[in-house]
Amino acid sequence: MELLKESLVLVHLAGMAVLVGAFILNMRRKNDFPFTAMMWAAIVQLATGILLVGLSYALDDAPDNAKITVKLLLATGVLVAAMLGRARQAKGESKLQPFFHTAGGLAVINLVIAVLWNAELWAF
């Protein structure tokens, strides 16, 4: 069970790297955004994240529900923005920067929340 959990964390971190990496590397672009990679990475984040939540209950180590809810909403926002941008880009539309920056920005916020939203870190 522990090995399964750590393997899921590995895939979760790889998905995060693709998502945040695609954003940072293409931040100055004005067109041809990597929406497809971001869409699949967001799907990986949602799938592995939900499985990790299930596993932590199975391992009697319940996660912080407020943190998980916020992460779930933000990751859904990433997916929706990437899907909308991808569909519009396929139709040849321009001015898709807001979709790219929404998807990438929400992913970065989720990364910060994942690492810094930890009650023990803020107990002085």
Nearer to ligand HEM by Cβ, of 52 and 80: the residue is 52
51, 8 contact by CB (below 8 A): yes
User: Interacting stretch for ligand HEM, rule CB under 6 A, among 7-15, 22-30, 87-95, 97-105?
Assistant: 7-15
Give the other-Cβ count within 10 Å of 43's Cβ: 16
DSSP 28: T
- Select from 39, 75, 81, 83 the one that contacts ligand HEM (CB under 6 A): 75
- Select from 43, 63, 84, 101 the one that contacts ligand HEM (CB under 6 A): 63
Q: Residue 16: phi, psi to the nearest 5?
A: -60, -40
Nearer to ligand HEM by Cβ, of 4 and 50: the residue is 50
